[in-house]
């Protein structure tokens, strides 16, 4: 009798388990795939990515929205006492910065003529007499060019731009309210002396003045007289300044730093996670991923109550299922014990 009872209870619980449909989050509204546009307030975002990962059977989904402001205001700071490479700062009549272009089918490289190939945002130099002697470069790479360590600053469809030269020190005078800053060329005088066969490799300093020395007669000559005056370029507040390829305006100058501003393309990125809020233009939205390739983005004030109610139904369902599985397991175990006991030999 007890055996039949436990079999019936177990069967009933298992029947409920397999026949009861699992609730899901079902929210009215459009779903967006990667590349789709989403209007949030006054801005139109693009779904730039949706991803899903699984760990111990639990799926975690996330995504990303991007908005590009083509006329955003960008800014950067140059700390007083920092250095600026010659690739970043450009002005008319500049002396410590050198620029060259490679174009055509051949280019001078390491003292020889190499074949030049430009494609896919990179360029390749190949020895015409030995095809295995080749090197490929991308923008930002360094390359030995005419004895100089140059930087690849731009790769066009038919030419490559190389830049080399000395760095510049950012100098702001120690004043109460500075209105200008100066870029001062930085030279490695020791290296310059070592490259000049007429001079000893080392410089000497006498009474605070640095000198180079001729090998043939040991005569000292001030460094600035021998190599020429270092380049200085002064920029006033509110004036324009070419920096990192942008026509910037000197917005402010303090004894700590110089602030540059310019107009340009500015990208805003918003990360999306299941059920997490994101603020856009003062309004809150939340994300729901119906599957691994789409996302819904809904107003928190208007729809989060529905989302929360659906999740509560899912939690309640999972709790009931856990209980039913427990009933099934106990019933099955009890039925097995009773059946096994019935077959035990009787003593007496």
Average pLDDT over residues 3-22: 52
Residues with Cβ within 8 Å of 176's Cβ and at least 6 positions away in sequence, in order, are none
pLDDT surpasses 60 at 204: yes
pLDDT of 1 > 60? The answer is: no
pTM value is 0.68
Q: Sheet harboring 130-138: ordered strands across?
A: 106-109, 112-119, 122-127, 130-138
Distance CA 260, CA 248 (A): 6
**Integer Cα distance of 23 and 7 in angstroms:** 28
- Of 312, 268, 298, whose CA–CA distance to 66 is shortest? 268
Write down the domain spans for the chain.
25-71+270-328, 86-167+239-265, 169-227
Q: What is the dihedral of CA 115, 117, 123, 126, to 10 degrees?
A: -30
- The stretch 251-264 carries a mean pLDDT of 95
pLDDT category at 324 given cuts 50, 70, 90 is very low
Phi, psi (rounded to 5 degrees) for 252: -155, 155
**Reported confidence tier of residue 316, pLDDT bands at 50, 70, 90:** low
Pairing of strands 283-288, 294-299: antiparallel
Q: What's the pLDDT score for residue 302?
A: 82
Beta-strand relationship, 232-236 and 220-222: unpaired
Mean pLDDT of 45-51: 93
Q: Are 214 and 201 a contacting pair, CB within 8 Å?
A: no
**In this prediction, what percent of the chain has a pLDDT beyond 70?**
82
The pair of structure tokens assigned to 131 is 């095809």
What percent of the residues of the chain are helix, what percent strand, and what percent coil, each to the nearest 5? 20, 50, 30
- Phi, psi at 125, each rounded to 5°: -110, 125
């Amino acid at each position: 009798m007890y055996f039949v009872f436990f079999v019936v209870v177990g069967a009933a619980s298992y029947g409920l388990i397999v026949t009861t449909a699992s609730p899901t989050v079902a929210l009215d509204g459009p779903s967006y795939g990667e590349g789709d546009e989403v209007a949030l307030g006054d801005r139109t975002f693009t779904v730039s990515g949706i991803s899903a990962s699984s760990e111990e059977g639990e799926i975690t989904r996330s995504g990303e929205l991007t908005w590009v402001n083509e006329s955003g205001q960008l800014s950067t700071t140059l700390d007083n006492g920092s250095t600026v490479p010659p690739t970043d700062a450009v002005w008319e009549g500049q002396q410590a910065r050198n620029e060259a272009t490679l174009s055509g089918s051949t280019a001078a490289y390491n003292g020889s003529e190499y074949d030049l190939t430009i494609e896919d945002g990179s360029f390749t130099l190949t020895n015409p007499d030995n095809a295995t002697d080749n090197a490929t470069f991308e923008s930002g790479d360094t390359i030995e060019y005419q004895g100089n360590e140059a930087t690849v600053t731009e790769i066009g469809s038919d030419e490559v731009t190389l830049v080399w030269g000395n760095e510049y020190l950012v100098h702001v005078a120690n004043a109460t309210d500075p209105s200008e800053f100066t870029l001062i060329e930085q030279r490695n005088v020791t290296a310059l002396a070592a490259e000049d066969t007429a001079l000893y490799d080392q410089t000497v300093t006498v009474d605070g003045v640095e000198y180079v020395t001729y090998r043939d007669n040991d005569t000292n000559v001030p460094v600035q007289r021998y190599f020429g005056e270092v380049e200085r370029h002064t920029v006033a507040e509110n004036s324009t300044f070419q920096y990192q390829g942008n026509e910037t305006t000197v917005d402010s100058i303090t004894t700590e730093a110089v602030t540059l501003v310019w107009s340009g393309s500015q990208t805003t990125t918003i990360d999306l996670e299941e059920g997490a809020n994101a603020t856009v233009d003062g309004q809150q939205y939340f994300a729901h991923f119906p599957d691994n390739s789409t996302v819904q983005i809904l107003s928190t004030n208007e729809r989060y109550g529905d989302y929360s109610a659906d999740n509560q139904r899912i939690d309640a369902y999972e709790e009931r299922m856990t209980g039913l599985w427990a009933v099934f397991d106990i019933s099955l175990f009890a039925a097995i014990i009773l059946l096994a006991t019935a077959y035990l030999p009787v003593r007496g």
